Amino acid sequence: SNKTTFPFTNSYATPATLGIDRLVLAAGAVLTYPNQNRLVIDAGTCITYDFIDANDNYLGGAISPGLQIRYKSLNNFTEKLPLLEKKEISNFIGNSTENSIHSGIINGICFEIDGFISQYLGEFQDLTIILTGGDTDFLAKRLKNTIFANSNFLLESLNLLSIYSNENDYVLDPMIGGGTTAIECKLLNRNLLALDINPNAIEITQEALNFDCEYNPKIRVELNDSRKISILKDESIDFI
């Protein structure tokens, strides 16, 4: 089994619920920035914060809504606020409803990220901060703290899948999210059981897998709670 081959000690209280994207980002941070404290911030559908200390202990972090979710939430949970797309803003004072939404969401996320970074810096010296994810370039220039901005850090780190697993291994992703792991498994000929409790994540993943490839691994994408995986047999999974 490859469950224990990550280059860090996983001290998360509920390791079965920890998404493989976060695990791979943590592994990438450990291998890329050895012997130092690391904070990986993934600004995608959700914004995830993952902290690995200088002794290579993964301690956890935080999860909050990303840009797109915040825009959709304001539209979905109010009667009159419009659904907007992110755009560049020049003033933090919104002089219209649309500009107020942009200011609130964009500045709110930046204040959140800078606030988390400052909190970590207050407790941990020699801290390396990596910002990655689809909104990296949009957010990086607005942050006050010094960071390493690399929008491809997850994809680069996902190459570790080829190191820590073998062709035809069975991979479990308990929270599939945007389907990045599923795509990588298809390209690397890894069998996959991909789960999520969010129907949108299932739909996005199924659409993302709709491409031709030289391999044809067994990939199951199911709406399921990863805490209740009765469909699995013991020792049937090689990599989580």
What is the spatial distance between Cα 8 and Cα 149, in angstroms, rounded to a whole number?
Answer: 22
Distinct helix (H) and strand (E) counts, the chain: 8, 9
The residue among 78, 71, 75 whose CA lies nearest residue 106 is 71
Tokens of 202: 């299932």
**In whole angstroms, how far apart are CA 19 and each of 71, 84, 154?**
24, 29, 13
User: Is residue 206 a contact partner of residue 180, using CB atoms and an 8 Å limit?
Assistant: no
Tokens of 132: 């990655």
Which helix (H) or strand (E) is 127 found in, with range?
strand 127-132
User: Is residue 46 a contact partner of residue 65, using CB atoms and an 8 Å limit?
Assistant: yes
Q: Which residue in this structure is represented by tokens 């059981």? A: 193
Q: Which residues are catalytic?
A: 21
Bridge partners (DSSP) of residue 61 are: 50
Q: Which residue in this structure is represented by tokens 């904070």? A: 39
Largest separation between any pair of C-alpha atoms in the chain: 59
